[in-house]
Structure 1
Amino acid sequence: MNRIDALFQRKPSKVLNIYCTAGFPALNDTMTVVEALQESGADMIELGMPFSDPLADGPVIQESSTRAIRNGMRISVLFEQLQNLRDRVTVPVVLMGYLNPVLQFGVRDFCEKCAEVGVDGLILPDLPMDEYESEYKPIFDQYGLHLIFLVTPETKEERIRKIDAASRGFVYAVSSSSTTGKDKDMSHQAAYFERLENMKLKNPVLIGFGIRDKATFDAACAHSSGAIIGTAFVKAIENSGNLQATVADFVKGIIA
């Protein structure tokens, strides 16, 4: 069973998924951060693949991506860093990024490497669902990878149900149509969250964008299986002098 599915069977609510940019703050910090997140209580880790034009990301994550690329991070380097991932990490790991670098690496080769190192799923916001189903789904299935799609407050019910049918693992519910990192009052999104909850989708729903502390995490969890925190975590570690301690303090502040 895919580790994402096993997680939601074991823990159907209050799932904490933390996003971190690979190769940030320093090139070789990737596994240090991943291991610290697991040890501190994160349920899932979303590992960002740095890209020069990350359209869905706000300025903080864009800057972390730029810094990681400047550090020397590339997909080939990331796979080298993850080579012994499953010797030390048991929680699900999802790679988040954009289609162009995957195409350059080669979709089949990329999926094969993901399976080899123990990646469980992918989030590729600019991969159209129709293109995925017609061209890439058999490859993803061959290597046991879940592809996670995004929905927004503007996504129509018919489209949400189509996305739910195509998705595996979970559905990523973007809390608003802006980029990541914008401060949002979760109470203003309650109707949207309730609409998704009442649709009884086959996949669990995780809410992302604007989740930054215990209050926003709890508000998102009231109508979903959990939430994703990215920008606030990247901010917390960008100038850390002790990554393990910083990660532990951040995660404990969310789940305490």
Structure 2
Amino acid sequence: MNRIKQLFEQKRNNVLSIYFTAGYPNIDSTLDIAEALEKAGADFLEIGVPYSDPLADGPVIQNSSQKAIENGMTVKVLFEQLKDLRKRVSIPVLLMGYVNPVLQYGVENFCSKCAEVGVDGVIVPDLPMYEYEELYQDCFIQNQLSNIFLITPTTSEARIRRIDELSNGFIYLLSTSSTTGKNLSVSSQVEDYFSRIKSMELRNPTMIGFGISDNKSFSKASEYANGAIVGSAFVKILAEENYLEKIPEFIGSLKGKEAVSY
């Protein structure tokens, strides 16, 4: 059983995931940030693989991706850095990125490297479901990698059911069909969408992402799903001085608790 499944067996509510971009703000900051996030109380991590054309990302994450590329971050460099991942981090870790860099690296090589360094899952928003099924599913299964699918407010029930059958980690619910970085606005339409997914009683846990930035939005999302994913709001912290020292306070504010000191 991989770490993602273990996590959701042990914790069913208010699960907090944090996204940040590999190689930002500095080329060698990835593991320092990951370790600090675990110590501060994050439940699992999503490390973004920077890409030059990140269509689903808003300006904050686009900027971090561009800076990371300028710093020299590549898939190869990231895997080199992640060799020491499991010496420093015990919580689940996923890689999130676009299909182009994965194809350039080679899907089989990518999956085997993930397994080698201790990565638990992959989120590739622009990988078509039929391609995953027909071409890559066996490779993911052999390397005990969870492939995380995304659902939007316009996803049909039939597709959601198929995603649930194919999934073996959790399902990523986008709060909106727009880009990352927009604050979560829980209109009656959004609540209906969240309620519809919850009433389907899916086999896999669900996590809500896009627009989660504070305790209010995290708590609201956690009413409808097992937890929520914070991206842009955290990446903003990384642009500040002494960002590692600010991580405990940030995680504490999301959870509505005092910061964990270490």
Is 1:190 the counterpart of 2:185 in the alignment? Answer: no
Q: How high is the sequence identity, in percent, across the aligned residues?
A: 55
**Is the partner of 1:155 in helix, strand or coil?**
coil
Question: Which residue matches 1:58?
Answer: 58
1:19-77 CA-partner distances (Å, limit 9, x unpaired): 00000111111011000000000000000000001111111100100000000100111
Distance in 2 separating the partners of 1:247 and 1:184: 22
- Would you say the 8 A contact 1:50–1:69 is kept in 2? yes
- Would you say the 8 A contact 1:58–1:179 is kept in 2? yes
Structure 1 residue 168: deviation in Å? 1.8
Question: Which residue matches 1:227?
Answer: 228
- Would you say the 8 A contact 2:164–2:171 is kept in 1? yes
**AA of the residue aligned to 1:215:** K
Structure 1 residue 155: deviation in Å? 0.8
**AA of the residue aligned to 2:37:** L
Distance in 1 separating the partners of 2:163 and 2:100: 22
Question: Which residue matches 1:153?
Answer: 153
**AA of the residue aligned to 2:208:** I
Q: Map residues 1-256 of structure 1 onto 2, 5 A cutoff.
A: 1-188=1-188, 189-239=190-240, 241-255=241-255, 256=257
Distance in 1 separating the partners of 2:63 and 2:177: 20
1:177-197 CA-partner distances (Å, limit 9, x unpaired): 000001231244211111111
Distance in 2 separating the partners of 1:34 and 1:246: 13
**AA of the residue aligned to 1:237:** L
Structure 1 residue 232: deviation in Å? 0.4
Structure 1 residue 88: deviation in Å? 1.3
In the superposition, relative to structure 1, how do residues 129 and 137 fare at CA in structure 2: closer, same or farther (>3 Å)?
same
Structure 1 residue 167: deviation in Å? 1.6
**Is the partner of 1:131 in helix, strand or coil?**
helix
**Is the partner of 1:222 in helix, strand or coil?**
helix
Matched positions, count: 255
Distance in 1 separating the partners of 2:143 and 2:81: 20
- Would you say the 8 A contact 1:180–1:210 is kept in 2? yes
- Would you say the 8 A contact 1:187–1:219 is kept in 2? no
Structure 1 residue 243: deviation in Å? 2.6
Structure 1 length-normalised TM: 0.98
- Would you say the 8 A contact 1:97–1:123 is kept in 2? yes
**AA of the residue aligned to 2:68:** A
Task: Show structure 2 runs of 5+ residues with no match.
Answer: 258-262
Task: Show structure 1 runs of 5+ residues with no match.
Answer: none
Distance in 2 separating the partners of 1:215 and 1:184: 10
**AA of the residue aligned to 1:34:** A
Distance in 1 separating the partners of 2:191 and 2:36: 32
**Is the partner of 2:19 in helix, strand or coil?**
strand
- Would you say the 8 A contact 1:121–1:148 is kept in 2? yes
**Is the partner of 2:46 in helix, strand or coil?**
strand
Distance in 2 separating the partners of 1:2 and 1:135: 22
- Would you say the 8 A contact 2:23–2:68 is kept in 1? yes
Runs of 4+, deviation exceeding 6 Å = none
1:100-125 CA-partner distances (Å, limit 9, x unpaired): 11111111111111000000000000
Q: CA RMSD in A?
A: 0.8
Structure 2 length-normalised TM: 0.96
